[in-house]
Structure 1
Amino acid sequence: MSPLELLVLAIWVMLPAYVPNNAAVVAGGGRPIDGGRTMGDRRLLGDGKTWRGTVVGTLAGAALAYLLNLLQPTVVSFLGIGVPTFPLAAMIALPLGAMLGDIAASFIKRRTGRKRGAAFPGLDQLDFAVVALVLTAVVAPSWFLSVFTAGLLVVILVVTPIFHVVTNVLAYLFGFKHEPW
């Protein structure tokens, strides 16, 4: 598979995991998941992790995976690159895993004393992708193993931080986020 084909495939299979956090930011607000609870003197997650954002983000990613399934024959025909369809388990696991990864990162940030919105290089850029991949591997193992080759995983782990930085800067510039990371 050529580098361009790997890049297209990486974007295709990860789009349902890339979109949820952006959708959650746009739809955010509402009740915090942690209900204001603390561990020691620090919040468990903080006000930025809400039930509404988590549900909307997960549904947005699943809806995108469904749309990609509908577009798959056209994309294969147009690009000449074999992109897979998403089984139901992956349609849910990729976006839910992305949201759970972001929640886990928030928990880690609070435990390390970082405030809401504080940067945590590395964790901020890969948390959602790694948990999305792990959850998908658990709930759709045969699909995962047939799609995610070692080369594809390397491309995903290299490209994801770049996409994350670019989309966060854009969200900041358009006023959706209070910080550009």
Structure 2
Amino acid sequence: MLPAYVPNNAAVLLGGGRPIDAGRTLEDARVLGDGKTWRGAAAGTLAGITLALALNGIAPAVVTATGLVLPTFPPAAIVALPLGAILGDTLASFLKRRTGRSRGAAFPGLDQLDFLLGALALTALAATAWFTATFTPGVLAVVLVLTPLFHVTANVVAYRAGLKSEPW
């Protein structure tokens, strides 16, 4: 899941610039808001792709050194995991605006799972055979339980480091 975990963090660190929605509104509220930018989406996706490629590169050495077999990512999954994470987060911003929440407002549950569900959905579509072989029901259960814990922890750390304006 690492290629799906990294994109939103990279988007926060490397984003900025022109908003994806170009300032457009829908029903008197921004479509997405200033927090969703083309640069952030591209940087996040590229960071996830780079990480997936790096993991593929070190997988043989990890097996040799530790005996631990890491999954390797086929090309479709290399792109789908990080792009799906960005798309899931973007869809969540759209839903937040439609429910009257401002940028940075908490939306419990959605905030912790949006990127994960986007990554899983797009990867299931783009690399179906790999997805079903890799994400068994047990693996999916662990990912769905641990991801919110990782997400909350990462956000608190980013908040305390001054990288986020809210701890969720």
TM-score tier, shorter chain, comes to over 0.9
Root-mean-square deviation (Å) = 0.8
Alpha-carbon deviation of 1:167? Answer: 0.6
Tell me what 2:97 maps to: 110
TM-score of the aligned structures, taking structure 1 as reference length: 0.91
- CA distance in 2: counterparts of 1:99 and 1:137, whole angstroms: 15
In structure 2, distance between residues paired with 1:140 and 1:36? 34
Q: Any idea what the Cα deviations from partners look like across 1:73-101, whole Å, max 9, x if unmatched?
A: 12223332222111111000000000000
Identity value in percent:
67
Q: Tell me if 1:162 matches 2:149.
A: yes
Q: Which residue of 46, 50, 62 maps to 2:37?
A: 50
Gaps of 5+ in 2: none
Q: How many residues align?
A: 168
| Alpha-carbon distance, 1:168 to partner | 0.6
Aligned equivalent of 1:75: 62
1:85 is aligned, of 63, 68, 72, to 72
Distance 1:164 1:88 in 2: 26
Letter in 2 for 1:39: L
Distance in 1 between residues matched to 2:145 and 2:68, nearest whole Å: 21
Is structure 2 residue 117 aligned with structure 1 residue 130? yes
How far apart, CA to CA, are the structure 2 residues paired with 1:23 and 1:31?
16
Equivalent position of 1:6 in the other structure? none
TM-score by length of 2: 0.98
Large movers: runs of 4+ above 4 Å: none
Q: CA offsets per residue over residues 130-167 of structure 1, 9 Å max, x none? A: 11001001000111111110000000000000000011
